[in-house]
Amino acid sequence: MEDIKERIQQLVKELNLHNYNYYTLDTPTISDYDFDRMLEELIALEQAYPQYILPNSPSLRVGGEITKNFKNVKHSTPMLSLGNTYNQSELAAFISRVENGLNENKIAYVCELKIDGVAIALIYKNGKLEQAITRGDGIWGDDITANVRTIRTIPLSLQENVPPLLEVRGEIFLPHTAFNELNEEREDMGETPFANPRNAASGSLKLQDSAEVAKRKLDCYIYHLSTELSDINNHYDSLQLLKQWKFKTSSHSRLCYSFNEIIDFINEWDKKRHSLPFDIDGIVIKVNEYSQQSQLGFTSKNPRWAIAYKFKAEQVATKLLDITYQVGRTGVITPVANLEPVQLAGTTVKRASLHNADFISQLDIHDNDTVYVEKGGEIIPKIVGVDVQQRNQNTKAVNFITHCPECRTQLIKKEGEVAHYCPNSKNCPPQIKGRIEHFISRKAMNIDSLGEGKIDLLVNEKRIARIEDLYHLKKEDLIGLEKTYFTNDKERTVSFREKTVENILNGIEESKKKTFDKVLFAIGIRYVGETSAKKLALHFKNIEALQQATFDELIEVEDIGEKIAESILDFFKEEDNIKTIKDLINSGLQFELSHSTASNKLEGLSFVVSGNFGTPQARKQIENLIEENGGKLLNSVSNKLSFIIAGENMGPSKLEKAIRLGIPLITEKEFLEMINSTNSQQ
């Protein structure tokens, strides 16, 4: 057993080092494949020997804890916001107030990038992350510790010599690449994309399922040491110490000693900010020395020793050439403004989304208008207004189209929704291609030998028109197909040669092994995402039960709201969708949970599995049986728990708490008897 404990400790140490090198230093020292293999080994060992799980284990990064309500927590010291300034004269007035307040004119300032994210306070006790609290109203914030644990750049434990109680503060944000990926997924699901990375980060931190937060790829920079230390007497030195403790801190902070040096820093980053992989909306200027900060003090809302210089949102005027309309895979119509090319924030802007008919109406956009385009705090250019002085009085207001631009079907707009959509889901070309592309995607059936270009060719050549057609493809249908086309001004050729065809057919065959929840997500029911598909699969066990479910039965499922329930009911009203499912079943796809014991026998009961059950696979099987029979699997012991399934060497802290709370302990055999006895009673 001692060698198991040592192996877990070794894996945790190595994986945490690789995490730090990859996410904080941006210098990976191991391949993704090797990292994943090490992490899989660690998780398997932790499942078999939970008594050896370390509080800084990287396995905690994957999340899984459900938080129904975030606890309100009072900050140790107020988490105040900064006063804002928007021009050099206002900044000069701030500098003057500081100099007058200190009766000095040679003062050191720290200039930092103002990251556009969500402020967070992190509390460490004995070097372990104990609590993460949002700013809230500055006095009280929400405890979002479970979600923050999933952010890989935030240390779960500190290896250096740190105080027993340590508080640091920072900014959680969403990098541009992660933001783009997230919005692509939302648009693919027919959901409204986030307006900007800050909104996306804020929304992510409010999610109740920390496993979902882990998928969002949030990041964090620490910018403030709240705990007073006798050997640190200024802000700049505190940043160096934070870096030494392996917190992620910005490398762009600079000490400045005059107004002109501060202005130089501001002007430098006003030009360079668009080259950063995340958003900044200004520069923060802080008096460096703590004694001087203390002397200047606070107003009721802001510190007198710091201020934020906010960049102006970049905005340009350009001509609206015309409006085109895109059709998504769920039929949602998105209007796109085609613009006279214009330089904005370091890029040439030719197009901007107009979102929906209501947006066009609110801005009162007319044909050939001169429009204002903005990119401040946004990655995606947006139209924010119209220069009516430039409008030709003979032009007409833009009227949203009434028929699909691709198949000419009359559009529909449901009550309570902002989007128009094309109901011709089976014969509208972009919907056909989009649905198939979604079906083969990595998070769905993962047929990676196919791709957008190949799907486009197969649909155009009429080899496939529906997702089920993939499972009827033969070698002779594919071999020799070829098409050359242009994308982003580059020539590309898609061709189906012998090896390509072999890979495609093997990938299609392999996809038949995908589990019910993956298949349910893949068939593309509107609003049913990856997580909701899993919860629906676990609740209903098979497609027949889901198909027969009523509205009331659907909204009983965790996280399934009215919109999703109505969409599921609409999906199963379509005979065409029923035909697709029957065809996929006949092709061998999984439309029920793999265990024949699946049921609702354990509904209303919650379980914790703790201890050694021989192998990691045995433990995993118990956990699967709980969920597949309607029970809830929990990670921690509380008075809401129904049973603990105890193996050998159960964790002593869990055992002690279970006894204190009177939680029944049962063996694996007793758990299986519970399921079997429930069977016999039904």
Write down the pLDDT at residue 681. 41
Q: Quote the percentage of the chain above a pLDDT of 90.
A: 47
Question: In the predicted model, what is the mean pLDDT of residues 266-288?
Answer: 92
d(CA 97, CA 41): 59
d(CA 434, CA 448): 15
d(CA 456, CA 484): 12
Nearest to 357, CA basis, from 421, 430, 423, 425: 421
Instruction: Supply the DSSP string of 458-473, one letter for each residue.
Output: HHHTTS-SSGGGGGG-
Question: In the predicted model, what is the mean pLDDT of residues 439-445?
Answer: 89
**Across the chain, what does the average pLDDT equal?**
87
Query: Three-state DSSP class for 588?
Result: coil
- Asked if 641 and 607 touch (Cβ cutoff 8 Å), the reply is yes
DSSP run (H or E) holding 14: helix 2-19
d(CA 449, CA 437): 12
Q: What are the pLDDT digits (tens) for 489-523? A: 566 677 888 888 999 999 999 999 898 999 999 99
Q: What are the pLDDT digits (tens) for 110-152? A: 999 999 999 999 999 999 999 999 998 788 899 999 999 999 9
d(CA 5, CA 64): 24
Confidence (pTM):
0.59
Write down the pLDDT at residue 32. 66
Backbone angles phi, psi at 142, to 5 degrees: -95, 140
Backbone angles phi, psi at 643, to 5 degrees: -145, 155
Query: Three-state DSSP class for 668?
Result: helix
Instruction: Supply the DSSP string of 240-286, one letter for each residue.
Output: HHHHHTT----TT-EEE-SHHHHHHHHHHHHHHGGGSSS-EEEEEEE
| Residue found by looking up tokens 């900010």 in the block | 273
d(CA 379, CA 345): 10
Which pairs from 204-207 meet CB under 8 Å and 24+ separation?
204/147, 204/174, 205/118, 205/134, 205/144, 205/147, 205/148, 205/172, 206/70, 206/144, 207/147
What band does 596 get if pLDDT is binned at 50, 70 and 90?
Answer: very low
**Please, what sign has the CA dihedral across residues 382, 387, 390, 395?**
positive
Question: In the predicted model, what is the mean pLDDT of residues 181-210?
Answer: 81
pLDDT at 191 over 80: no
More confident position, 428 or 347? 428
- Asked if 323 and 410 touch (Cβ cutoff 8 Å), the reply is no
More confident position, 189 or 282? 282
pLDDT at 564 over 60: yes
3-state DSSP helix/strand/coil percent for the chain, to nearest 5? Answer: 40, 20, 40
- Cα 229-231-233 angle, rounded to 5 deg: 80
Low-confidence winner among 166-170, 228-232, 418-422, 639-643 (lowest mean pLDDT): 639-643
Which pairs from 100-108 meet CB under 8 Å and 24+ separation?
101/295, 101/296, 101/304, 102/292, 102/295, 102/296, 106/257, 107/257, 107/287, 107/288, 107/289, 107/292, 108/234, 108/236, 108/255, 108/256, 108/257, 108/287, 108/288, 108/289
- Asked if 45 and 53 touch (Cβ cutoff 8 Å), the reply is no
Domains of the chain: 2-62 (1.10.287.610), 73-91+110-259+273-300 (3.30.470.30), 429-513 (1.10.150.20), 516-586 (1.10.150.20), 606-681 (3.40.50.10190)
d(CA 634, CA 491): 53
DSSP run (H or E) holding 285: strand 280-287
Cα separations in angstroms, 330 against 187, 337, 571: 9, 21, 11
d(CA 189, CA 214): 19
Q: Quote the percentage of the chain above a pLDDT of 70.
A: 93
Structure tokens belonging to residue 527:
């609003």
Nearest to 189, CA basis, from 438, 396, 417, 355: 438
- Asked if 564 and 532 touch (Cβ cutoff 8 Å), the reply is yes
Which residues are 501's β-sheet partners? Answer: none
What band does 44 get if pLDDT is binned at 50, 70 and 90?
Answer: confident
pLDDT at 29 over 90: no
Q: Which amino acid is at 413?
A: K
Judge whether 490 counts as a catalytic residue: no
Give 333's contacts (C-beta < 8 A, 6+ positions apart): 325, 326, 327, 401, 404, 405, 411, 419, 420, 421, 422
Write down the pLDDT at residue 578. 95
Query: Three-state DSSP class for 371?
Result: strand
Backbone angles phi, psi at 679, to 5 degrees: -60, -50
Structure tokens belonging to residue 165:
């109680």
DSSP label of 193: P
d(CA 419, CA 327): 11
d(CA 272, CA 269): 5
d(CA 539, CA 536): 5
Q: Which segment, 63-67, 143-147, 485-489, 657-661, is predicted with the most confidence on average? A: 143-147
Nearest to 138, CA basis, from 198, 79, 218, 205: 79
Question: In the predicted model, what is the mean pLDDT of residues 654-670?
Answer: 84
Strands 643-646 and 606-610: parallel
Structure tokens belonging to residue 625:
């049986």
Q: Which amino acid is at 539?
A: H
Write down the pLDDT at residue 347. 73
CB-count burial class (<10 Å; 0-12, 13-18, 19+) for 25: exposed
Strands 219-225 and 165-173: antiparallel
Structure tokens belonging to residue 230:
């006798």
Backbone angles phi, psi at 57, to 5 degrees: -65, 135
Question: In the predicted model, what is the mean pLDDT of residues 249-265?
Answer: 95
Low-confidence winner among 189-198, 305-314, 533-542, 586-595 (lowest mean pLDDT): 189-198
Strands 306-310 and 83-85: parallel
Q: Which segment, 157-161, 559-563, 566-570, is predicted with the most confidence on average? A: 566-570
DSSP label of 346: T
DSSP label of 523: T
Which residues are 320's β-sheet partners? Answer: 339
| Residue found by looking up tokens 């109203």 in the block | 137
A 10 A CB-CB count for 74 gives: 10
Structure tokens belonging to residue 58:
């990287």
Cα separations in angstroms, 327 against 187, 371, 567: 11, 24, 19
Which residues are 74's β-sheet partners? Answer: 140
d(CA 587, CA 572): 20
Catalytic residue from among 5, 114, 310, 490: 114
